Chain A
């Protein structure tokens, strides 16, 4: 068994009086590709924010281990569902990708050669180098998603967390993105939140079903009944073979 990289132990979280997460426990292992699914308002984004450390749990602990990564900072890359910038924000694709390098100790304008090189590499991998000079507001949903993934990959994280990475893109782009993630998951822990269980179960190693509480399944064992329990409604199961 691989090392545990994230250990969520009995975590609860409330927004005011409303319980969002109750007694969540989950161990994420090194180089695992794990999907978190659940209906709207099931606490998926909240769980991600807790893992990222943007908010603190009311109860329980979240430990993150970081043995593989030499540089301590930014060992988690994060791809948010939305970025609330206005369409005319004066920043290019290249500059957004470079933001992945920015830490509290980055001073002045310039980036060093390694930083530029790794950004270029990330843009090549995501096939966005031809739009590097475009302004961010002029991109399509799929292009923007690739830019945000490149930004997260640029600092070579050992854990990558994505919140609904394919909610604004069409099927073809969705397949591309997941194939790419599958590729990365060989040497990177990836956590992806999605509402589309049928789709992601073809890629991920394990599925965590979240609806205030959390149940984990191996991908093979996902059944129609289980989805019905989760979504509290009959769901049509689409079988896909790989």
Chain B
């Protein structure tokens, strides 16, 4: 651990990695909470995987892969949301189709990209140690976008997620807010892809928030707690993986899983004590 702290002082790439963890945790805490309370983690996974289509195309046309990721995430979230609103009974099939089609398109374009094949692994599993200061600025910008929308529309989201029918009675366009929420999710996915890659994104968007959900009584408290948990988990992940040179994204995700199960277990023990006492 001391070696990590020493290196943190020394290397900008490590400092960047830690700042990236902080920035990612903001989006992860807020949007992850919505993903968990609305129970759309599978849908979120679908959007995350369809991002590869955008990245593959961007590479093929020699454009910025992150720009491709943002566009693909937004397009697929709007499409999934729109189709889902009209075709609700086949939601799981729809997600599976987007999930696999996105990956397939991405692989096709990547395979046709001439020259040295890009580091596919770093998109799939992330490579936090390669994050540049430009990436950090982009993450900050995306965080600001997500946070300001959530701040302004907090009440609309709360009532639409809690009781959709009631929200509609009060004149709230729940379909609009559903698709807006999916768009915010897709922006957060792009923030998180830098950290853990698109395959593991779903873990950071569900586990910290699910842990927080066990201890809070309000949605806004859940935002804070899950952001805090996400920060702790991701920075610990960077620290642990640094010395033995393990893939950081995988370590972060495994830490999140272990923390979740431990938390569920502890909560279970507390509840048992309460009922027997």
Q: Give the distance in Å from the alpha carbon of A94 to the alpha carbon of B37 in the complex.
A: 18
Interface size on A, residues (CB 8 A): 31
A103, B151: Cβ atoms closer than 8 Å: no
Known A54-B169, A89-B37, A90-B222; contact A106-B217, beta-carbon cutoff 8 A? no
Residue of A nearest to B225 (CB): A90
Task: Give residues of chain A (74-110) contacting chain B, Cβ–Cβ below 8 Å.
Answer: 74, 76, 78, 80, 83-86, 88-92, 95-96, 99, 102-104, 106-109
Known A90-B216, A108-B151; contact A99-B159, beta-carbon cutoff 8 A? yes
B151, A104: Cβ atoms closer than 8 Å: no
A103, B171: Cβ atoms closer than 8 Å: yes
A103, B163: Cβ atoms closer than 8 Å: no
Question: Interface SS of chain A: helix, strand, loop or mixed?
Answer: loop
Known A99-B159, A106-B155; contact A52-B169, beta-carbon cutoff 8 A? yes
Known A78-B166, A103-B172, A135-B217; contact A91-B158, beta-carbon cutoff 8 A? yes
B170, A104: Cβ atoms closer than 8 Å: yes
Q: Give the distance in Å from the alpha carbon of A237 to the alpha carbon of B155 in the complex.
A: 48
Partner of A103, one of B153, B165, B170: B170
Chain A residues positioned under 8 Å from B77 (CB to CB) = none
Distance in angstroms from A133 CB to nearest chain B CB is 7
**B270 within 8 A of partner (CB):** no
A108, B168: Cβ atoms closer than 8 Å: no
Interface residues on B, range: 20 to 34
**B277 within 8 A of partner (CB):** no
Partner of A108, one of B154, B162, B219: B154
Task: Give residues of chain A (2-35) contacting chain B, Cβ–Cβ below 8 Å.
Answer: none
Interface flags, B145-165, vs A, CB<8A=1, else 0: 000000111111011001101
**A73 within 8 A of partner (CB):** yes
Q: Give the distance in Å from the alpha carbon of A151 to the alpha carbon of B167 in the complex.
A: 12
Shortest Cβ-Cβ A-B pairs, 8 listed:
A135-B217, A104-B171, A106-B155, A102-B155, A90-B222, A102-B159, A99-B159, A90-B216
Chain A residues within CB distance 8 Å of chain B: 52-54, 73-74, 76, 78, 80, 83-86, 88-92, 95-96, 99, 102-104, 106-109, 133-135, 151
A-B contact pairs, 19 of them (CB 8 A): A54-B165, A80-B163, A80-B166, A83-B166, A89-B162, A91-B158, A91-B217, A91-B218, A102-B155, A102-B170, A103-B171, A103-B172, A104-B172, A107-B153, A107-B155, A109-B151, A109-B154, A135-B217, A151-B166
